[in-house]
Structure 1
Amino acid sequence: MPGREDLPATLLRSPRKAQDTWVAAHDSALDTYGPGRRAQQTAFAAVKHSFEKVGDHWEPKQQRGPSDDQAAGGARQRERPTHGGVDARASRAHLYERAQQLGIHGRSRMSKAELVDALEKASHRETARARA
């Protein structure tokens, strides 16, 4: 399976189900679109429906569904910014719990949008730290 060989590091640190989801979607996208960025984007979109990025890995979401407006719009929609695997459609309480888990300071005063941004930045930092 080509997808197993191309598995991103964040997914190597994630549950097997997240890895299997990525591999199945990636391999299917390779058959449909050929090699390249689109196959990777399709695979991550599939992962984001069931998992959310927490720090340097992916964890199961409480409720399955799109993580942001881009994922909800489908293939024919214009590109919108994504949030790096953060479940931007989750409740503020859930985002606050994730911020607490990652030790984000000032989280109690943050709006939902600010929590999403802070979680995205924290995930990028954790992923960079894990690569080093």
Structure 2
Amino acid sequence: MPGREELPSTIARSSKKAQRTWIKAHDSAVETYGEGQRSHRTAFAALKHSFEKVGDHWEPKQSKGPSDEQAARSTPKPGKTAGGVDANAGKEHLYDLAKELGVAGRSSMTKQQLVEAIDKANNRKTAKARS
């Protein structure tokens, strides 16, 4: 099925460039691996190189590159990801993002705690947008 028809809601609420990135990567992965979960993982890995999830949509990252260890793999496998949070970004960027999302207690969090808190805040905003 073409990527345009399978576009996740968080990407549908994002810029046209983010949508094109996901669709192109998804369709290419379907040609290589066939339809299914692997094609979706590959498309998200490609998206995470240029975009990060902020709330219920994806925004361009400050610098391109994989957002977490999982996205850095050439062939994504099932495993733990940062859920679209740019875990490789600096702590200051993560703090600013947590502030934008209204994460409580952010000033005393470690970088890893900020990543996890931002992921939870993103999931809450996505769930709210879907309802």
Q: Please classify the TM superposition score into its range, dividing by the shorter chain length.
A: over 0.9
1:78 Cα deviation (Å)? 6.4
Whichever residue aligns with residue 18 of structure 1, its letter is A
- Structure 2: which 5+ runs fail to align? none
Describe the superposition over 1:95-114 as per-residue Cα deviations: whole angstroms up to 9, x where unpaired: 00000000111100101000
1:81 Cα deviation (Å)? 1.5
Q: Considering only aligned residues, what root-mean-square deviation do their CA atoms show, in Å?
A: 1.4
Identical residues among aligned pairs (%): 61
Query: Normalization by structure 2: what TM-score?
Result: 0.96
In structure 2, the partner of 1:68 is 68
- Structure 1: which 5+ runs fail to align? none
1:72 Cα deviation (Å)? 1.5
Cα separation, 1, equivalents of 2:67 and 2:87 = 6
Describe the superposition over 1:10-60 as per-residue Cα deviations: whole angstroms up to 9, x where unpaired: 001101000000000000011001110011111100100000000100000
How many pairs does the alignment contain? 131
Whichever residue aligns with residue 17 of structure 1, its letter is K
Whichever residue aligns with residue 51 of structure 2, its letter is F
Describe the superposition over 1:45-96 as per-residue Cα deviations: whole angstroms up to 9, x where unpaired: 0100000000100000000000001112322x76541010000000000000
Cα separation, 1, equivalents of 2:77 and 2:21 = 25
1:63 match: secondary structure: coil
Whichever residue aligns with residue 33 of structure 1, its letter is Y
* Runs (4+) off by over 2 Å: 77-80
Whichever residue aligns with residue 129 of structure 1, its letter is K
78 and 26 in structure 1: CA distance in 2 versus 1, 3 angstrom threshold:
closer
78 and 25 in structure 1: CA distance in 2 versus 1, 3 angstrom threshold:
closer
Whichever residue aligns with residue 71 of structure 1, its letter is A
